[in-house]
Amino acid sequence: MKFSIYCIGKLKEPYLREGVAEFVKRLQPYGGVTITELPESKLGDKPSPSDKQKALYDEGQRLLKYCNPQAFVVLLDVYGKQMSSEELAKRISELEVQGHSEMIFFIGGAFGVSEELRQRAQWKLSISPMTFTHQMVRLVLVEQLYRACKINRNEPYHW
């Protein structure tokens, strides 16, 4: 399975960049992962509710441009389904059996995602009931994708 991650904003912290880079490297033998960072909407210090809504819409439109009709689209969403690593591995395996060769993951910005993007997603996944920064979610996602690949090949996972 090829994994594509499209996200709003650049990773700013070196520890996040290093962690993501490590798992990107580890995922190469399993079909690989590409990560595309898209610009965040520029907002002032005290954005109004309408400014936030416009930012959500604009960021959603930027992400939607990357919807490949042949890929299975997953939205990382606070309201999505939570699952164990084993359940994620099983879901990926099921998608492969169904003929999917690519999964696209969308990660929104600091204010979330547009309703249009939420509607386009075929599956909504929540990493945890806890709140994480959208940048931290990227690291957790690539680690879980790597873990799922190891599970699906019955390989031991050691970090």
Question: What are the chain's domains?
Answer: 2-39+53-152 (3.40.1280.10)
The answer to whether residues 95 and 125 touch, using CB atoms and an 8 Å cutoff, is no
Quick one: pLDDT at residue 134? 84
Question: How confident is the prediction for the chain on average, in pLDDT?
Answer: 94
**pLDDT surpassing 70 at residue 159:** no
Biggest distance spanned by C-alpha atoms of the chain:
50
The answer to whether residues 4 and 33 touch, using CB atoms and an 8 Å cutoff, is yes
Mean pLDDT for 49-57 is: 91
Cα gap 99→136, rounded to integer Å: 31
Quick one: pLDDT at residue 43? 84
The pLDDT tens digits for 15-39 are 999 999 999 999 999 999 999 999 9
Helix, strand, coil fractions of the chain, as percent rounded to 5: 45, 20, 35
**pLDDT surpassing 90 at residue 44:** no
Percent above pLDDT 70 for the chain: 99
The pLDDT tens digits for 90-127 are 999 999 999 999 999 999 988 889 999 999 999 999 99
The answer to whether residues 108 and 62 touch, using CB atoms and an 8 Å cutoff, is no
How many CA atoms lie less than 13 Å away from 32 in the CB half-sphere?
A: 2
**pLDDT surpassing 70 at residue 128:** yes
Helix 85-97 vs helix 134-152: crossing angle, to nearest 10: 70
CA dihedral 65, 68, 69, 70 (to 10 degrees): 180
